[in-house]
């Protein structure tokens, strides 16, 4: 079985500040890792994914994440956030023959002027 823990339910930051949203996972098999963003009243949009290869993954809107196998983490970072980044962010994991995505509870990122 797999599980995902997003360590912060809410993260408030000021515009142009850096941000890190934390995600830890547990799995008994090799994993694929994903970050999704959900803007108000919209579906989830894929930000980035780790399938294999380089552990530093770059996604859309200037976000990146680093896969750390020893720490079972996949933290999401952005060096300078904008007001428009205000949204809920979900970390998800799948792996092996398990095609289902297991999601974390989400982190609400609020960017203040």
Partner 1 sequence: GAGVSQSPSNKVTEKGKDVELRCDPISGHTALYWYRQSLGQGLEFLIYFQGNSAPDKSGLPSDRFSAERTGGSVSTLTIQRTQQEDSAVYLCASSRDSNYGYTFGSGTRLTVV
Regarding 107 and contact with partner 1 (CB under 8 A), the answer is no
For tokens 């994914």, name the residue: 49
Regarding 25 and contact with partner 1 (CB under 8 A), the answer is no
Pairing of strands 23-26, 3-6: antiparallel
Binding residue (CB under 8 A) for partner 1 from 5, 72, 95, 108: 95
Site string for partner 1, 47-76 (x = CB under 8 A): --x-x-------------------------
Binding residue (CB under 8 A) for partner 1 from 61, 66, 86, 103: 103
**Cα–Cα distance for residue pair 99/62, rounded to 1 Å:** 28
- Whether residue 58 contacts residue 48, with contact meaning beta carbons closer than 8 Å, is answered with yes
Q: Is 2 or 73 the residue whose CB approaches partner 1 more closely?
A: 2
For 99, the token pair is 């095609």
């Amino acid at each position: 079985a797999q599980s995902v823990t997003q360590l912060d339910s809410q993260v408030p930051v000021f515009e142009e500040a850096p941000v890190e949203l934390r995600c830890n996972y547990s799995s008994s098999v090799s994993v694929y890792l994903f970050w999704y963003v959900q803007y108000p009243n919209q579906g989830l949009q894929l930000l980035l994914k780790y399938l294999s290869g380089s552990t530093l993954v770059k996604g859309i809107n200037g976000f990146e994440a680093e896969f750390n196998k020893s720490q079972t983490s996949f933290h999401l970072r952005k060096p300078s956030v904008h007001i428009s980044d205000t949204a809920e962010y979900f970390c998800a994991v799948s792996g092996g023959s398990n095609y289902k995505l297991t999601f974390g509870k989400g982190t609400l990122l609020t960017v203040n002027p």
